[in-house]
Each structure stands twice: as structure tokens, then as C-alpha cells.
Amino acid sequence: MEDFGAKLQSEAESSNHKPEKLRDDQPKRKQSPDKRENQPEAVASNKPTMIRERQPMQKRQKQSPDESKQQAEATSNKPERGRKQKQTEDQKRAKKKETDKKYRQKKNNLHLEMKDENEALQKKCEALQKKCQESEKEKEELKRKGEADQSEINSLKERLSKKCNSSILSFGVLKLMVCANAIDVSPNLQEHDEENSGFPIPDDWFSNLEGEENFSEYPDLQCGQTKGIMEGSLVDEALLDSMTINGDTVVAVLKENSHMIQEIFSQHPRTASDLRVRLPASRNGFMNTLAEVYKIATKEELTPEEIKCMENGIEDLKLAGFEISWLEDLLLKCREHVERTEEIRRKEAELNLLKEKQSKGIEERKSKRQTPI
């Protein structure tokens, strides 16, 4: 084989251009005299030019069948470049069958998952329905108890009298009674009124007062039993009624409460046996308080505020010396009735919440079934 390296090197050395000749061949630029003088001359470079030697082409060695097979296997994993060959009809059918098989398998798996999910939701719905049925039974039982208590309260309410028209009027009447007990009526009032008013007062207005007894002799003044000026007056026709309890104690209560007080003492005669109140006005007030508490206890529907009012009234009556254990038992029943009512309302709220959750679960299942796979 010939050595081409030395030959090419000699050709390159012979073909090198001289720097002076290269500078002369370049186009001249117009420069000012000053710049031309200051510009240094180009210096030729002595650096040799690097030339790549051509290597002689080597002949391809023949490979053994095993080596060619290994090389083919190593290069078979690489993706083929260029345009792919068109598939035949058999290849297309086989590929379509494979994709259809994968699609059916995926669809079946999704169907099985949805079936399992539906079964789990169905079990949850059955459990919720059982809870709803149990809550319905509890609600019916509580309702029956409430109806029984309500019937008992209604039977007690039927014995009540009419409702008070005005509590302010009752206090005004009591105040008028106390003031009338302290008045000292005399004919000298005629002269006093004539001097102040300027109008004469007939003598017969005070003629019926002569010989009448003094009000101070009657410390326990009751409506319907008054003497002198109070007889046949507005107080006699007011909303007060006098009654005797325990055979010796006389009290004045509202007319609407008189029937209730009589009923209370007919059923519980020892209610005021240990009464520690001596002032008549205070005793009358406690009697009206007893009637009001009993009236609240016999209502159809009670509120927690009314229960609290009953508790306060019972505490005051116990401090006054009333024997009202029976009224405390009635208060306990009323409190239990209110608690049952609140429990029924709470159960109804929970039942409505469970129904809403069940309806939402059914709607979600329907929406999942309607969504395309």
C-alpha cells in the first residue's frame, strides 16, 4: 500500500501562500495619512498548517453466522426509522380483535366495580331504612306517651275557670280595699269639700253613714262582706271573691281563680295547714299564685320558660308554708312531657336528615349509571 501521508504533507507545504502576496491581493482601503503611518506592518506567521491525514480504507471482515445473529438481535430492539410498511388485512383484523378484546375486558372490569359499589350502597340503604323504621317506632311510642299525658292534662284543664282579664285591675282592687280600710269617714268632710270645690253637697249623701260601724273593727276586709260606704260599690262588683278554707281562714282571690282554689282544697285539704303568712293581703297574693301555677301546669302545650316559672312559684309557695308535694309531682310530669316533646322533635330532625342522605345517594348512583363509559 502506498503512503499517502508524506505526499499530502509535501503538497500542502508547496501550496502555502506567502503572507506578502496575500496582503497585496487584498483590496486596498482608503485611510488617512495619520492612520497609515501609525498602522504596523503585518507579520507573517511561521505556524505550520494542520492537515488531517487520510486513513486508508479497511476491508470489511467477514462475520461468522453466530456473530451476525447476535448483532441482528442487538439491533432488533431499536425502533425502525423511516415510513412504516402498510399492514395487511390479516394484521389489521388481528389488531382490531386485540383492541376489541382490551375494550371488552376494561368494560367488564368497570361493570364489576360498579356492581360491587352498588351492592355496598344497597347495604347502606338497608341499614338506613332499618334505622328509619326504629326511629319511627320510637317516635310513635313517644307520641302515644305524649297523647296520654296530654289527655291527663286536658282532664285537669277542664276544671279550670276563665282566664284573668287584667292582672293590673286585680292589684288595683286590692290596693283600693286596703285604702278603704284606713279611711275615717265623717260628716265634717262635707264642709271641707264645699270649701275646696265650691259646690254644695246634699246632706242626705252622708245621712246613711250615721250609726255605721267603723272599718277599723274589720281588719280582714273581704269583697261581698264590706260595711258602710263599700257596700254596693264598685269593689263589691270587682273581680274578687271571698272564700273560706280549712273552716277558719278567709281569703280574697280573683273570681276566675275561686273555682280552682275550691277544687285544689277539695282534693288536697292540707295544702295550707302549715301556712306561715299572717298578713291578709300577702295570704291572698299567695293563693292567687297557687292558682296561677296550677293553671300553667294544666296547659296543653308547655314551654321551658313556663316550666321555669312554675319552679319559681313552687319555691315561693314552699317558703310560705304550703304543703304542695302533689304540685311538685305535677311539675315533674309536665317537665317529662316537655322533654319528650323535645326528643320527638330531635328524632324528626334526624329522620329528615337520614332521608335527605338516602335521596342524595340514590341520585348519585343514577348519575353514575347515566355517565358514558
Q: What is the pLDDT of residue 39?
A: 56
CA distance 319 to 342: 31
Q: What is the pLDDT of residue 198?
A: 46
Q: What is the pLDDT of residue 359?
A: 82
- All three cell numbers of 309, joined, read 316559672
Amino acid at the residue 248: D
Q: What is the pLDDT of residue 221?
A: 40
pLDDT digits (tens, 9 = 90+) for 315-362: 888 888 888 888 888 888 888 888 888 888 888 888 888 888 888 888
Q: What is the pLDDT of residue 161?
A: 53
- All three cell numbers of 353, joined, read 336528615
Annotate the chain with three-state secondary structure.
Answer: CCCHHHHHHHHHHHCCCCHHHHHHHCCCCCCCHHHHHHCCCCCCCCCCCCCCCCCCCCCCCCCCHHHHHHHHHHHHCCCCCCCCCCCCHHHHHHHHHHHHHHHHHHHHHHHHHHHHHHHHHHHHHHHHHHHHHHHHHHHHHHHHHHHHHHHHHHHHHCCCCCCCCCHHHHHHHHHHHHHHHHCCCCCHHHHHHHHHHCCCCCCHHHHCCCCCCCHHHCCCCCCCCCCHHHCCCCCCCCCEEEEEECCCEEEEEEHHHHHHHHHHHHHCCCCCCCCCCCCHHHHHHHHHHHHHHHHHHCCCCCCHHHHHHHHHHHHHHHHHCCCCHHHHHHHHHHHHHHHHHHHHHHHHHHHHHHHHHHHHHHHHHHHHHHCCC
CA distance 242 to 278: 17
CA distance 175 to 282: 12
Is the sign of the CA dihedral 306, 309, 313, 318 positive or negative? positive
**What is the CB neighbour count within 10 angstroms for residue 30?**
5
Bridge partners (DSSP) of residue 245 are: 249
Give the contacts of 170 (CB within 8 A, at least 6 positions apart).
164, 239, 240, 254, 288
Of 283, 256, 255, give the one whose Cα is nearest residue 271: 283
Q: What is the pLDDT of residue 306?
A: 87
CA distance 272 to 253: 15
Of 266, 265, 238, 271, give the one whose Cα is nearest residue 252: 238
Beta carbons of 132 and 351 less than 8 angstroms apart: yes
Q: Which segments in the chain show pLDDT lower than 70?
A: 1-65, 68, 71-84, 155, 157-239, 246-248, 370-373
342, with CB counted inside 10 A (0-12, 13-18, 19+), is exposed
Q: What is the pTM of this model?
A: 0.35
